[in-house]
Structure 1
Amino acid sequence: MSAATEQRPDPDGGKVRRPDPFAAPKGIPEYLPPESAGFTHVRDTLAGAAERAGYGHIELPVFEETGLYARGVGESTDVVSKEMYTFADRGDRSVTLRPEGTAGVVRSVIEHNLDKQGLPVKLRYAGPFFRYERPQAGRYRQLQQVGVEAIGADDPALDAEVIAVADEGFKALGLTGYRLEITSLGDAECRPAYRELLQQFLAGLDLDEATRERAAINPLRVLDDKRPEVRAAMADAPLLIDYLSEASAEHHRAVLEHLDDLGVAYTPNPRMVRGLDYYTKTTFEFVHDGLGAQSGIGGGGRYDGLMATLGGPELSGVGFGIGVDRTVMACAAEGLTPWSTARVEVFGVPLGDTARRRLVVIAAALRARGVRVDLSYGGRGLKGAMKTADRSGARFALVLGERDLESGTVGLKDLLSGEQRAVGLDGAVDEVIASLQA
């Protein structure tokens, strides 16, 4: 009999069926202590790079009207056609769990008139996004991202800044095994003529019906097809980078010049399309070959028509989304752990009720001074409490018993060296802080 269905007697002598335990939904990663320290460090480091560049925090709804993504992301994308979590709420309105962040940010900027407060509007966000995909390493149904959007300035220097912010975040984590791939997807002046040229090329290929339907909506999406047979057929396809308008070509040259000035290395990739329809001009992706098939760790680009498409003014925008999950995997691939897994810095071990009352007060005083502190609860003995202290990752333990109380001291134990010394109870807070800083 399994543990999930084990029979156990109830107080009246009968049998009670133990319910089967719940499990997390398929394809949803969980980050548990102590490994969760790596997740929070990566997320906060990436967001910190954006904060230092003046990007203010925005907290987005987890779900929006379905039409926002259908119109903003693009009907031809896999995200809209295959991957969205869409359902009717109790008011019979169609809503969708957010699959990406840009459309929601643009909607918020329009709704709250943030563009009236000065341009560009520079925002950053972090949190979960949802796509119904086949779960595999690095591809999750709930994915975590850090993103930025800069709206209201068609300036190549802003494109370069956005890219450099992402690059700075990766470098701050110590990553070295990634590369930046970049191209331009042109503008409204050159895209129509190139679209016709590409459609003429596609008309001569033997493509399946589903691919032809996608090509009819947005032929650029065929360039992004990962199937080997389609890639082979597209080997001689015309490339948009060779048909840019003068304005787009100059914009692209200026972006690359700014990246050179900033010392951000890049690799041209003229076949890059990305998975969303709203991109124009600058388009980029950060790739880490240590992750196998799911090598992308972040990317983005410019979306000059999206604001107007969603009902706002004719303002340009540029941004990125970085996968926190995949960046954590990239750190693991390079053997990087630039974070501490310690839950606390100090662990209190009270031996008796009176000692517990005193240590609770000392712990509160230390926390007020910015020190992370935990205590042993439940009346555990010294041996069990010290094991818990070791597992917490604390640097020091405060051990307080009845004899210590009588002498007005508390034991301060260095959990690395094993050395312990008595310090005065009244000055214990200052002594602990000084020891941590030594």
Structure 2
Amino acid sequence: MRMRYNQNKLLRNLKLKLLIRKNKTKRIINEMKEATKQIQIEEEEATKQKQIEEATKQKQIEEEEATKRKQIEEVEATKRLKIKNIREFDVNYLLIDNEHFNNNVQLCIENYLNNVLQFLKKPEKQCQELFNRFIMELLLIFNDCTQLKLMNVSKYNLKEKEEYSCPIIIAPSAYHCLAHIDGEVGTARGATEAQCIYTYNWMYSNILEDNVLQTTGPKFLHVYLTMPIEILEKLVEKAAENGYRAIVVTCDDPTSRVWNNILPVFLEASKNIDPNLMKTAIMPNMNIFDLSIEPDFYDGSITWTNIERLRKLTTLPIICKGILSPLDAELAIKYGANGILVSNHGGRQIDTTVPAIECLEDIVNIVNGRVEVFVDTGIRNGSDILKALALGARAVFIGRPVLYGLTCGGHDGVRRVLDILKQELIYDMACCGLARIDQINKDILYKPS
């Protein structure tokens, strides 16, 4: 009996020891797990801290490199922006061996020159000759020339009392990213600094609209009448909410055509341009030619009632672009246009189209002040602007010179080009005895009999 008692006691002691050892082992295991977990946390924090330090170091290196590049670009830009005449900003200047331009941009410019300008040579030459036909009389009436500036420009409006700082508006040219990495954002910034209106080409832009709208200056929205109706109506309805001052509608592009002389530009450009740019050349993920040949995109059934339909969707002024005939000007007004942009689309729509400046006076006469009249194409200096205003245009749209400035100096180049044009306009006004924009009229033009 006693022996059994001792055995049970021994067994209980053994169980107790085993339990104590088990609990101790469990505690040790938990402590080891906690220690391992703590080590992992510390290692992760150390790794994270190392990554932060490396990222910070990399960022500092990139910022230093960016600062150096910017300083170099500013030095180069300063040299270029000392140019005092817009004509010195011509294409020939872009072909000078200059490290500021990368190989891709230069190749694009050379292809553009060799192909497109050959194709446009005749209408371009015609337009320049027509501008030169108008000779200005120099009137020695000084009118306090020390106070000369672009004054009283609030008269330039679209029947909505929109004030302009000068009668120069940036035209809705395409693909500004081919000229400079900042693309349309750089152009919009330059326009803001020069206090000029920028026209954003929503369709032919590789820059998202939201990025362009972040710039603070006044803007027009440019759309095509042939765009898919659901996209077009949505854009027009939201235009005012997005801060646009007016809507420019291209009316002279009812169908698609691939020009033999222009096609090589795209074929060559595709070898040198970022493939992602080519994929999003018109709208995201859509190739330029794939979209252009879609029958739903170029709707040949559009009529003037399409303008009337847009008129009902917005209170913003609508400017009909591509008008060359007084008859079309009358129809545009009838169906709700607030403005007429006399334009031949850069001479690209029809090989033998009439220059816009030749049509301006007839359209101004038929409109007779009912809506505002604008003009574009071939305007290269302040004298051209003054002649267009003298023929009755309220303002001019500028395309190619702005792209030259963007290529040479980004947004600073755009601002400089616009400043040069304004300075030339002021100088030419002074030489004609004019101190204010509203004094400009046909009396300053001399036509030999």
Q: TM-score band (shorter)? A: under 0.3
Instruction: Report 1 or 2 for greater relative contact order, CA contacts < 8 Å, sequence distance ≥ 6.
Output: 2
More helix by share: 2
